Amino acid sequence: MIFLDRLKKIQERIGTIEQELSDPQVIKDQGKFQKLSKELATLRPVGEVFGHYQRTETALKELQQSLAEASKDPEMKALYQEEIEQLEAKLEKHQEELEDLLLKESDVNSNRDVILEIRAGTGGEEAALFAADLYRMYSRFAVEHGCKLEVIDTNVTGKGGFKELSVGISGPSVYSLFKYESGIHRVQRVPETESSGRIHTSAVTVAVLVEADEEEISIEPSDLRIDVFRASGAGGQHVNKTESAVRITHLPTGFVVSCQDERSQHKNKAKAMRVLRARIFEMKQAQEQQEMARVRKSQVGSGDRSGKIRTYNFPEKRVTDHRIGLTLHSLDDILNGHLDEMVQAMARHERTQRLIDAA
């Protein structure tokens, strides 16, 4: 089996975690206890199926030995052969289950919360309006899957579009739902301001950043330059009257994050730090993926935002995903948040590619 070494390591890790969870010192440390419990809950289904696989494999070998010894008894040979075929089918089923579980387990971010960043690109106001359309699409998609949204920061245009928008999304398997959305989204349609009916092409960039906690990404205060300023735009009487907006510059990486949506400077700083940690975490993962790229053929779902991934063509009512060549003639439905068919197709493609890469 391709994944045999990894399965044995998982089995050993389950035993180690179970021992640690029975340690009184670990029980007292609720942070560590919860982290280990979560890891065990992720690994245990793999361990259980692998146990079934091993027992079936052992039974199959015993039957094959019995078959070899019963070469002079036709009735016993037929009986053993029937049981062997049943066990081989069972073993194949367990192997498929293990492949699915391992691919999910190897995607370490699958159950993490994310920060979704949407930025208007080429196309001016039309791109900003399409950014608002994408935000509505993702919001409805998230709610349909039982996820919660929290607006972190916005930069609104005069016509109701977004130059930039950052949203925190939390819930079950959030990253698995949104990881295929990173990249350039192109829209082809007639803008509201276009009197001649000419079709314009605009672009919006989407980034899906994994939320990282303080234990994973430690940021030294000395590495930060923090500036406060007066918020601008919609927001009530506090706007332009108090220095509640925060801009944080991470000196080692040059990342700059600002937040002004909250009335409280403290809250804006906390939200900006969430985004900063997510960006640093993404950078570290990108570096790791570059190392892995030597042996990996597929980078689907890797979070690369440098290329065009999807086109939304309004005149033809179609949406095309360029990574897998999928075209759906249900643009209105998709923009209303019904992304499941697109996401499931991407997941199937990724599974196939990763199994090929692992072979």
Per-residue pLDDT, 237: 41
Which two tokens mark 335?
């923009």
Which CATH architecture best describes the domain 114-215+300-358?
2-Layer Sandwich (3.30)
Q: Do domains 114-215+300-358 and 221-290 have the same CATH topology?
A: no
Alpha carbon dihedral 76, 78, 83, 87, in 10-degree steps, equals 130
Per-residue pLDDT, 106: 61
Alpha helices per DSSP H over the chain:
4-21, 24-28, 30-69, 74-106, 125-144, 174-178, 265-292, 331-335, 340-358
Which two tokens mark 205?
């960039």
Burial class (CB in 10 A: 0-12, 13-18, 19+), 82: exposed
Per-residue pLDDT, 297: 42
Dist. CA 118–CA 28, nearest whole Å: 42
Which two tokens mark 338?
């019904």
Per-residue pLDDT, 301: 44
Per-residue pLDDT, 300: 43
Mean pLDDT for back-to-back runs of 10 residues, the chain (359 residues): 81 94 92 89 90 95 88 84 94 88 70 91 92 97 94 90 94 89 95 80 94 84 91 52 84 92 88 92 78 45 64 96 96 97 91 69
Per-residue pLDDT, 298: 44
Domain segments of the chain: what residues?
4-106, 114-215+300-358, 221-290
CATH T-level fold of 221-290: Double Stranded RNA Binding Domain (3.30.160)
Dist. CA 321–CA 162, nearest whole Å: 23
Dist. CA 284–CA 120, nearest whole Å: 25
Per-residue pLDDT, 100: 77
Per-residue pLDDT, 302: 43
Which two tokens mark 6?
């990894």
Per-residue pLDDT, 235: 45
Strand partners, 164: 119, 155
pTM of the model: 0.67
The DSSP secondary-structure symbol of 221 reads G
